[in-house]
Structure formats: C-alpha cells, structure tokens
Amino acid sequence: MGRATEHNQHSMVADWPKADPKTWNRAQRLVNHLRLYPIFPDEPPPKFAKTDKMPFMPAWSQHRYILFYAAVPMLLHQAWVSLTGIPVGRVAAAVLYYTAYKVVTVREVRLLRGLIYQHGVLDGDVARDGIPNMGAWKIIGELEKTTGFRMAMAVFLTYDPAVPPLRALRDTGSYAPFLAKLCLYGVVLDFFFYAYHRACHELPSLWRYHRTHHLAKHPTAVHSGFADDEQEVIEILIVPFLTYLTLAAAGLRLGFYEWWICFEYLTWAEVWGHCGLRVHGVVPSPISSVLGLLGMELALEDHDLHHRKGWKKSFNYGKQTRDEELTAWSLYIEQMGIILRQLDW
C-alpha cells in the first residue's frame, strides 16, 4: 500500500517474525494468525543439487484444483437459491464471491508452501525473500483489494440475480463460447499485461511504478502483491477490464460465472508464478499444447528468472504466456537449468 516515490523507501529486511510478538503490527499479527507465511521462518525448505531430477507438475492437477475451488461458491450460491427460493442479490453475491476468492487464494499459498517443503525451491542455494518488516500491510492490502475490487467490477458489469449457477449451467449453448473465452482470456490479458509490464522496464519514467515489486529477487507466493498503488490499479482492475472489453468487442462477452472462473485461473497464475516451487510445469490453459507448439507456454521458472536475473532490464514479461524476443531457445534452456533428462516425469 502506498504510491510510488522518486526514491524507493522500501526494504526487504524480514526479521519481524523473530521479534517479540508484542511489537508486531496488526498486519503482521494477521499474517501469523492465518499462517500466511509462504515459507515458515527458521524452517528452511529442503535443498537439492542442481543435478537432481526436478519433479514435473502436470497441467491436469492444476486444472483440477482451480475448477474444484471455483465450483465451491457456485454450489453454495445455488444451494441458497434452491433451498429458499430467494435470489442472491448483487451485494450478497459480491460478498460471497469476494470471501471465496480470498479463502481460495490463502488456500493456494498454503498448498504451495506444503509442496515447497516436499520439493524445495528454485535456486535453492539462496534463501527466498520473506515478508518485509514494512511489507505486511502491502501484502494483506493486496489480498483485500484484488479480491474486493475484481469481484465488485464483475458484479457491477455482469451479474444478474435472476440467473443462478444452475440456470447458467443448463444453457448448453453457452458451453462452446465459454471454452473459447477461457482459451482466449489469458492470451488477451497477457497482451495488455505484457505491454504495460515491458513499458515499465523499458521507459525510465515508468520504472518507478514497478520498482518496488522487483525488490524481491527470490519472490514467494505472497510477493505477487508486493507493489505500489499504481501497479496494483493496473493489474487488479485496468488489465482485466480491458480484457473484458476486448472479448466483448469480439462477440465473446463474459458472463459473471465465466469471469469468476477466468479470475480463478488468473489468480492461480499470479500466485503460482511467484512461489519459487522447484517443479517444472506451465501455466494451465485449455490451449497449453497450442502455446507450447508456438513456444509461448510460460513455465513456472520463467517469471522466477524475471525476478532473479532481471531488474530495470529483464525478459519473460508475460503473466500467462512467454515471449521469445530476447533469447534463442538454447539460451532459454541454459538459463532455466532444465533439460528433459533432468525431469522426474
């Protein structure tokens, strides 16, 4: 939380968990209460040699997680309507899906933490960044703003209380268009994200708005939200809104439940891409195989390298797809430190 300044005042020192709990601020107490640590203080994850095989995370396991938890609030929504006959109004829908969004995100952080203690972290010789002493409010605030503002926008633009989830599901004619929307959502969103993101790195006048986020050289699942206000506004609202408008202009206007599922895929990618988990996998998409043929699928380590190797000048600017304009494929493989024989399929 806070606007970008000419001279960055933030520090990545993260020793507050070792201090007397009486000295913690409210955000630090909340992080501790929710067990929102991406890696527990003083409990380092296991280390692996660079030559050890790297586990492979299949896309289907990610799809399963995303779709299961996306379905939970929809089932609760439908249960209320079926049992009471009372439609869920706009305010109630915003509260329900905002709460679910927040719970699922926290659940993802905890899930990834558990996997880290099984499989380790990328570049494991170097410790991952912790939650900075002055950064707990930023991270808690990002969680609230992302879930709250995105759901408020989706409800305002697309929610119809007269269409509960079961009625939407019975419209079989919407299945094919929804699949097209889900396939295109990440690609269209990445067009806008890539343009803004690379501009922040390339244009000196814009770098100040993105610089705080790059103080994390070895980020974790919670560092997706470590940013100044200007970056938050763009990523939380503007980029998804432009994606919505673009799909609508193409005749693929998102319904509320469709956008909710797209947001769950987006948030998985945002959190997963920063977690540093030592596995090889790509951001899940119905068109992952097509993106792979085009050399555009984004692996988990791609964004990690963006933080580890990049600063003002960097590479791998996408959120859900990968660009190839800076390096040849062979150099990319060398940077990744992954070759097929090193993967534990």
Most confident range (mean pLDDT) of 142-146, 303-307, 322-326, 338-342 is 142-146
For residue 4, name the pLDDT band (cuts at 50, 70, 90). Answer: low
Is pLDDT above 80 for 3?
no
Is residue 341 predicted with pLDDT exceeding 80? Answer: no
The predicted pLDDT at position 295 comes to 84
Question: Using an 8 Å Cβ cutoff, are 260 and 241 in contact?
Answer: no
Please check the confidence at residue 203 and state whether its pLDDT lies above 60.
yes
Per-residue model confidence (pLDDT) at position 340: 44
* Rounded Cα gap, residues 159 and 93, in angstroms: 8
* Residues of the chain above pLDDT 90, percent: 80
Please tell me the predicted confidence (pLDDT) of residue 221. 97
Burial class (CB in 10 A: 0-12, 13-18, 19+), 113: buried
Comparing C-alpha atoms, which of 200, 183, 190, 215 is closest to residue 289?
Answer: 183
Q: Is the pLDDT of residue 331 over 60?
A: no
- Answer for the pair 324, 297: CB distance below 8 angstroms, yes or no: no
Neighbour-count burial for 174-200, b at 16+ CB within 10 Å, e otherwise: eeebbeebbbbbbbbbbebbbebbbeb
pLDDT value at residue 311: 79
pLDDT at residue 162 above 50? Answer: yes
pLDDT at 182 over 50: yes
Q: What is the mean pLDDT of residues 335-344?
A: 48
> What is the pLDDT at residue 328?
37
Q: What is the mean pLDDT of the chain?
A: 91
Residue 6 confidence class, pLDDT cut points 50, 70, 90: low
Q: What is the mean pLDDT of residues 219-245?
A: 96
pLDDT at 327 (0 to 100): 40
Least confident span in 204-208, 287-291, 318-322, 340-344:
340-344
Q: Give the mean model confidence (pLDDT) for residues 34-48.
A: 95
What is the mean pLDDT of the segment spanning 301-307? Answer: 91
> What confidence category does residue 209 fall into, taking pLDDT thresholds of 50, 70 and 90?
very high
* Among 82-96, 267-281, 326-340, the least confident range: 326-340
| CA distance linking residue 272 with residue 283, whole number of Å | 8
With 60 as the cut, is the pLDDT of residue 278 above it? yes
Stronger pLDDT, 1 or 108, i.e. the higher one: 108
Give 317-328 pLDDT, tens digit per residue: 888 887 654 443
Q: For residue 47, is pLDDT > 50?
A: yes
Can you tell me the distance from the alpha carbon of 300 to that of 280, in angstroms, rounded to the nearest whole number?
Answer: 6
pLDDT grade, residue 32 (50/70/90)? very high
Average pLDDT over residues 126-130: 95
Residue 345, pLDDT score: 53
The reported pLDDT for the residue numbered 64 is: 98
* Residue 27, both tokens: 């955000």
pLDDT at 330 over 80: no
Q: What is the structure's pLDDT at 13?
A: 93
pLDDT at 322 (0 to 100): 76
